[in-house]
Amino acid sequence: MGKIGFIGLGVMGKPMSRNLIKAGYSLVVHNRSQAAVQELVAEGAATASSPAAVAEQCDRIFTMLPNSPQVREVLLGEKGVIKTARPGTVVIDTSSIAPVAVREIAGELARKQVAMLDAPVSGGQAGAVAGTLSIMVGGDEAVFDACKPLLDTVGSSVVRIGGIGAGNVAKLVNQTIVAINVAAIAEALTLAAKAGVDQTAVFKAIRGGSAASRMLEIKGPFMLARKHEPGFRLGLHIKDLGNVLETGHEVGAPLPLSAAVMEMMQILKADNYADCDNSVLIKYYEKLADGAATE
């Protein structure tokens, strides 16, 4: 296999790139901020001045970007991958974006005989660093099979869901469940405090029963300690829920719980908590309860 491209070296993209370098792949990276680029260059990566310059050198290109407009610009823009990509190139977009956008972008790339996999990830920064991400993939099965060894380098669970766009549908389902679960934990721990019972004792009591969940294990300690360093930023979860609601409206799926959590998050964003971990949802409930659950 030739050189691998990676565009977008943020909280997730940089450690994913690092794991590809550690696995022995020849990596070409591009990012707006040069600090992350220079870190990876010091570890053996080459650099390119634009997405188009990445595509000139690479036939497998990862992208990890904030949302649909950025993915569209990097892949289809004036200096985008589409300008120089050779037929047979595969774009593996690990961003979390709207499924309808994925299908539109993939259609444009297909005109140049460039294939696309939408492969959003779950597992946060810790999973990106450890190479244990859960990766939900949409796209052609043969293309998926050819690229799976690459995906196995950055994730421990790599599952093809279906055709293009299916990966991001799965990610939206994931983010819906996570959002509602985190809100439920915040609501329940606030109930314990309001009733005069120690939250930590309640947490220990319920974690082995029917209320046990991965989110309880991960977010419960954040809430109990009132420490909300990300983690998974509230602002990013707002972006994902925006895509959840947009997709739900498009396909006619009712999402009343997702809408309610979105409004809670918007209130916290207005209170300048967007850069905090999404466990900061407990502050919404504390505010409603007049601070009854404060430390």
Which residues are tagged catalytic?
171
Helical spans, DSSP H, in the chain: 13-22, 34-42, 51-57, 68-76, 99-110, 124-130, 141-154, 166-194, 199-206, 214-225, 234-251, 256-270, 281-288
The partner residues of 3 in beta bridges, in order of sequence, read 58
Q: In this structure, what token pair is assigned to residue 202?
A: 């309640």
Residues 6+ apart with CB under 8 A from 66: 10, 95, 236, 239
β-strands 115-118, 90-93 pairing: parallel
Contact 56, 67 (CB under 8 A): no
**Spatial CA neighbour of 168 closest among 129, 117, 132, 127:** 117
Q: Which residues contact 19 (CB under 8 A, 6 or more apart)?
A: 128, 131, 153, 154
CA 264 vs CA 98, 158, 214, 277, 286: distances in Å = 22, 32, 22, 14, 12
Please measure the distance between the N-terminal and C-terminal CA atoms of the chain and give it in whole angstroms. 55
Q: Which helix (H) or strand (E) holds 61?
A: strand 58-63
Q: Which of 164, 154, 226 is nearest to 190 (CA)?
A: 226
CB 189 within 8 A of CB 293: yes
Do 142 and 167 touch, CB atoms closer than 8 A? no
